[in-house]
Each structure stands twice: as structure tokens, then as C-alpha cells.
Amino acid sequence: MGNGRDAYPSAPMGKSREIKKRMKAVGNIRRITKTMQMIATSKFARAQQRAVASKPYTAALFDLVGKMASAAGDVTHPLIDAKPGADARMLTLVITSDRGLCGPYNGAILRRMMEYFRNTPGAREGEIELVGKKGLATLKFNKINVATHHTHFGDTPSYENVEALAQTYIDRFIRGEISGVRVVYMRFITAGKQAAEIKQLLPFEPDAAEQTDAPAGAGLAFEFSPSPKELMDSLLPAALKAALFQCFNDAIVSEHVARMVAMKAATDNAGKMGKRLSRAYNRARQAQITTELTEIISGAAALG
């Protein structure tokens, strides 16, 4: 009889101890995710400031170059109508993140990349360059060769590094080694909206330049000083470099937004799970106390 009485309290006690351990683990996870959320929020604020500050310059420069290319008439430029070599291939730059825990961020970019490869002849067989570590597994799984893996950009890509990369593309395009450059990245629209997009960097298309509302008097003839060719030689490379830098800035701020949202969701879920475990622990403790009281009363009644 004594063995039977000992067996009853052991089950609730063991269950309550297990729940207590789980509560502690969930609490630790919640503190970690809350800290990561705060870090992502801080980084997002700085990255958003950089991305938003550079957008007006990039848009205005692209708009200026587009209008100038249209107004100049028969002026040609190697970055607009270069003749690629017979062996030239398309170059695709894919911008992913170095770290995970950022929700659907990398998945959306990689799905957009695979869709682009399926719908664009020659893109998959061309040169693929990757920024970030999170795209390697997908590219390897799909047997897509990565020609260059850029690992030096980090969370705050400098303009100097992006400019050097853009200059490499410009030089290779002019020499006819590549037929064009496309960038797969996450475009930052607002804090609540981002979109995985494909941006054509080369050849430059005047009609694809970002347009602004035409001011009064638009359509008048332009007077160029210096000559249109000299202006194009100076402004067109600058516009392409600024556009690539904007792609990097958009990608970074979008990554921080995604991580901030993912960590907030994880923190909220951990809080809800902690409450459920707390209720389960209280019920287990109540069951244990009830069992002990029942045994005491039963023992007292047996003693008469």
C-alpha cells in the first residue's frame, strides 16, 4: 500500500519539473529573440537612412541621363549599344544575406532568381556572381555554378567597394566579354513592403530610366555644353555605379526589416508559449497538491 501511495505523487512532480525546464528554455529563447529584434531595429534605422538618402540622387541622375540620351539624337555610347563578342554571356549578380533568421527574405530572392533563369534563355548558363552566404546552398542544389562569391561587402557596403565592382562590369561590357548585367535583389519600397526584383544594369536603356513628373516646358530642345558625348562619358558610368550602390542599400535595409519582423514574431510566440506552459505548470502543481491532500485525508481516515 505504501508503494502505491509513493507512485502517485511522482508522476505530477515529474511533469511539473519537466514543464519548469521548458518554461526556463522558452524564457531564454524569448530574451535572445527580443535582443535580436532590438539590434535589427537599430540597424534598420541606420540602413534606412542611407537607402532613403541616396534614392533622390540615383533617381535624378538616371532621369537626367535618360533625357539626355533621348535628346541627343544620334549620339551613341558603348554602355548603350556595345557589340558583345561571340562568346559573351549574360552576367547575373544575386544579392542575398550573410546571416539567417530573417524570415522569407532569402527565399523570396532565390525564388525570383530561379524564375528569371527559367524564363530567360542563356541566363542560367551565363556567369553567376553571388553576394552573401545564404544563396550558396540553393545554387549548389540546383547545380548552378557560381563564378564569383563576394564576401567583403558585409552589413554596410562602402561606395568604394561597390564602385570598383561596377567599374569591373563596365570595363568587361565595353570589351565585349559579357553581353549584359542583371541584378537580383530585394527592393525596399517602404518599411512594410519590399519586393524581389531584377534590375538591368547593362546595357543601359534610356527608356528604363526612372522617370519623374515632367516639369512645365518639358520637350524643349536642349543645348549641350560640353558635347553630349563628353557628358555621356562622365554621367553614364556614374549613374550605373549609383544604381548598383542603391541595389546594395535596398538589399541591406530590406534584410534588417525582415529580421526585425521575424524576431518580433518569434518573441511574441515565445511569450504565448510561456503563458501556456505557465498554465500547464499551475495545473500540474494543483493536481500534485490535490493528490497529496487526498492521501493525507485517506491516511487519517484509515487511522480512525
Q: Tell which residue, 202, 21, 186, has the closest CA to residue 94.
A: 186
Answering whether pTM is above 0.95, one says no
Higher pLDDT, 206 or 83: 83
**Domain 53-212+225-261 adopts which CATH fold?**
Pyruvate Kinase; Chain: A, domain 1 (3.40.1380)
Mean pLDDT of 174-188: 93
Q: Say if CB 154 and CB 64 are below 8 A apart.
A: no
Q: Residue 4 — pLDDT band, cuts 50, 70, 90?
A: very low
% the chain with pLDDT above 90: 49
Predicted confidence (pLDDT) at residue 216 exceeds the cutoff of 50: no
Where, residue-wise, is CATH 1.10.287.80 in the chain?
16-41+262-302
Q: Residue 14 — pLDDT band, cuts 50, 70, 90?
A: low
Residue 113: exposed, middle, or buried by beta-carbon count in 10 A (0-12, 13-18, 19+)?
Answer: buried
pLDDT digits (tens, 9 = 90+) for 43-65: 898 888 888 888 888 888 878 78
Stretch among 50-54, 202-206, 214-218 having the lowest mean pLDDT:
214-218
- In SS3 terms, 154-179 reads as CCCCCHHHHHHHHHHHHHHHHCCCEE
Domain 16-41+262-302 has CATH 1.10.640.10: no
Predicted confidence (pLDDT) at residue 126 exceeds the cutoff of 80: yes
Where, residue-wise, is CATH 3.40.1380.10 in the chain?
53-212+225-261
% the chain with pLDDT above 70: 87
Averaged pLDDT of the chain: 84
Predicted confidence (pLDDT) at residue 220 exceeds the cutoff of 90: no
